[in-house]
Amino acid sequence: MTLAPRSADENARLEAALIDLFERRISFNQVLGLKILAAHPGDVRAAFDMRPELVGHYSYGRLHGGVISAVLDAMGGLALMVGIAERHPHDNTAQVMQRFAKMGTIDLRVDFLRQGIGAQFVATAETTRLGGRIGSTQMRLVNQEGTLIATAAAAYVVA
């Protein structure tokens, strides 16, 4: 018996569940103000606005390094969620969401390239490897002018 891949309706439910998880149920992402712009294979993007709560240096009004790290870490996780959903096209939304339960960061390297100055920031991520137990990602953070602020690479437990 061959299972049919997810229907368009099921894909829409999965996308809504992923957005709900990322933007609302992971409460720290709310603190960061992350909003998903795209969550599709090859296009994983989120944005957030600069706010006083995110400032790391009061004299310059730039992003705190921990905010940059946390955003890039969250984006790596989102890229892997998209990859896991793509790897299991016959799973329904509940089954795919259950697969995320054991995910966790095991390594994160951030390269801070420029000061985090801007009004809005966009983070992108891509999966570089998705194995049975470990997934690897690369991420980027730019400001509204497209200036590259930071890059990152991370590894996650996925099973």
Calculated CA dihedral for residues 65, 67, 71, 77, nearest 10 degrees? 90
pLDDT tens-place string over residues 83-131: 999 999 999 999 999 999 889 999 999 999 999 999 999 999 999 999 9
User: Amino acid identity of 83?
Assistant: G
Compute the distance between CA of residue 79 and CA of residue 93 in angstroms, rounded to an integer.
17
Cα dist. 42→59, 82, 86, 100, 158 in Å?
38, 9, 11, 19, 19
SS3 state at 77: helix
Rg (the chain; Cα; Å): 16
Instruction: Say if CB 78 and CB 125 are below 8 A apart.
Output: yes
Model confidence over 41-90: pLDDT tens digits? 999 999 999 999 999 988 888 999 999 999 999 999 999 999 999 999 99
**Domain range summary for the chain, segments of one domain joined by +:** 8-157
3-state SS class at 151: strand
Measured CA to CA, the distance from residue 34 to residue 18 in angstroms comes to 13
pLDDT at 46: 98
Q: What is the pLDDT of residues 18-41, one digit of tens each?
A: 999 999 999 999 999 999 999 999
CATH of domain 8-157: 3.10.129.10
C-alpha–C-alpha distance, residues 141 and 122, integer Å: 6
pLDDT at residue number 2: 54
pLDDT computed for residue 118 by the predictor: 96
